[in-house]
Structure 1
Amino acid sequence: MGCPAAAIVGSSRRRSGRRQGMSIGDPGALAQETLWVRAMTWDIRGKRVLVTGATSGIGLEAARSQYVSREAVHPERFQDSRRQFVFLVRGGEKALPEKEDVLEEVVDALQRRRGLQIRYRDFVGARKSVRIEPLSLAVYDHQLYVIGRPRGGPTHAYRFSRIETAETVGGTFPYPDKDSYDPERVFADSFGIIVDDKYPIEQIEMSLAPRWTSYVRSHRWHRSQESVVRSGRVHVRLRVRVCPELVSWILGFGPDARVIGPPRLKRHIGRLAQRMARTHHADGAS
Structure 2
Amino acid sequence: MLNIFAVNTVLNESRKLRDKILPEEYPSGEQYLIPIIESIDNHKTLEITYQGHWQDKSYTFQIEPYCIKAFKQRWYVAARSPYYDKVLIYSLDRILEMKQTDLPFEYPQTFHPKAYFDDSFGVIVDEEYDVEKISIKVYGNQCKYFRSLPLHHSQKESETHSNYSIFTFRLRPTYDFCQAILSHGDFVEVLEPQWFRIQIGTTIQKMNQLYE
TM bucket, shorter chain: 0.7 to 0.9
Q: Return 5+ residue gaps in structure 1 as ranges.
A: 8-38, 52-63, 69-77, 282-286
Report the alpha carbon displacement of residue 148 of structure 1 after superposing the two structures with TM: 0.6
Query: 1:155·1:196 contact (CA, 8 Å) conserved in 2?
Result: no
The alignment partner of 2:93 has SS state of helix
The code of the aligned residue for 2:140 comes to P
CA distance in 2, matches of 1:103, 1:211: 39
Query: 1:93·1:144 contact (CA, 8 Å) conserved in 2?
Result: no
Structure 2 residue aligned with 1:213? 143
Report the alpha carbon displacement of residue 204 of structure 1 after superposing the two structures with TM: 0.8
Report the alpha carbon displacement of residue 161 of structure 1 after superposing the two structures with TM: 0.9
CA distance in 2, matches of 1:108, 1:214: 41
For residues 97-117 of structure 1, give each alpha carbon's deviation from its aligned partner in whole angstroms, at most 9, with x where no partner exists.
xxx3x5554344333212222
Q: Which of 130, 150, 153 lines up with 2:85 in the alignment?
A: 153
CA distance in 1, matches of 2:53, 2:15: 43
Q: Is 1:273 equivalent to 2:204 in the alignment?
A: yes
Report the alpha carbon displacement of residue 164 of structure 1 after superposing the two structures with TM: 1.4
Compared CA separation, residues 185 and 163, structure 1 to 2 (3 A): same
CA distance in 1, matches of 2:125, 2:201: 25
Q: Is 1:245 equivalent to 2:176 in the alignment?
A: yes
Structure 2 residue aligned with 1:137? 68
Structure 2 residue aligned with 1:184? 114
- The 10-residue stretch of structure 1 (115-124 or 202-211) with the greater mean CA deviation from structure 2: 115-124
Query: 1:132·1:149 contact (CA, 8 Å) conserved in 2?
Result: yes
Percent of residue pairs identical: 22
Q: Is 1:172 equivalent to 2:113 in the alignment?
A: no
Q: Which of 107, 111, 119 lines up with 2:41 in the alignment?
A: 111
Query: What is the number of equivalent residue pairs in this alignment?
Result: 209
Report the alpha carbon displacement of residue 134 of structure 1 after superposing the two structures with TM: 0.8
Report the alpha carbon displacement of residue 241 of structure 1 after superposing the two structures with TM: 1.8
Is the strand fraction higher in 1 or 2? 2
Q: Return 5+ residue gaps in structure 2 as ranges.
A: none
CA distance in 1, matches of 2:46, 2:66: 11
For residues 76-135 of structure 1, give each alpha carbon's deviation from its aligned partner in whole angstroms, at most 9, with x where no partner exists.
xx8976678x4631x423245xxx3x5554344333212222221223134344322111
Q: Is 1:94 equivalent to 2:94 in the alignment?
A: no
The alignment partner of 2:86 has SS state of coil
Report the alpha carbon displacement of residue 6 of structure 1 after superposing the two structures with TM: 11
Compared CA separation, residues 130 and 266, structure 1 to 2 (3 A): farther
The code of the aligned residue for 2:132 comes to E
Structure 1 length-normalised TM: 0.62
Report the alpha carbon displacement of residue 236 of structure 1 after superposing the two structures with TM: 1.3
Report the alpha carbon displacement of residue 217 of structure 1 after superposing the two structures with TM: 3.0
The code of the aligned residue for 2:27 comes to E
Report the alpha carbon displacement of residue 216 of structure 1 after superposing the two structures with TM: 2.8
- The 10-residue stretch of structure 1 (194-203 or 244-253) with the greater mean CA deviation from structure 2: 194-203
Query: 1:120·1:162 contact (CA, 8 Å) conserved in 2?
Result: yes
The alignment partner of 2:151 has SS state of coil
Q: Is 1:262 equivalent to 2:186 in the alignment?
A: no
Q: Is 1:122 equivalent to 2:56 in the alignment?
A: no
Compared CA separation, residues 167 and 214, structure 1 to 2 (3 A): closer
Structure 2 length-normalised TM: 0.81
For residues 148-181 of structure 1, give each alpha carbon's deviation from its aligned partner in whole angstroms, at most 9, with x where no partner exists.
111363322210010112233462112222xx11
CA distance in 2, matches of 1:188, 1:240: 8
Compared CA separation, residues 79 and 93, structure 1 to 2 (3 A): closer
CA distance in 1, matches of 2:130, 2:59: 25
Structure 2 residue aligned with 1:199? 129
CA distance in 2, matches of 1:6, 1:135: 24
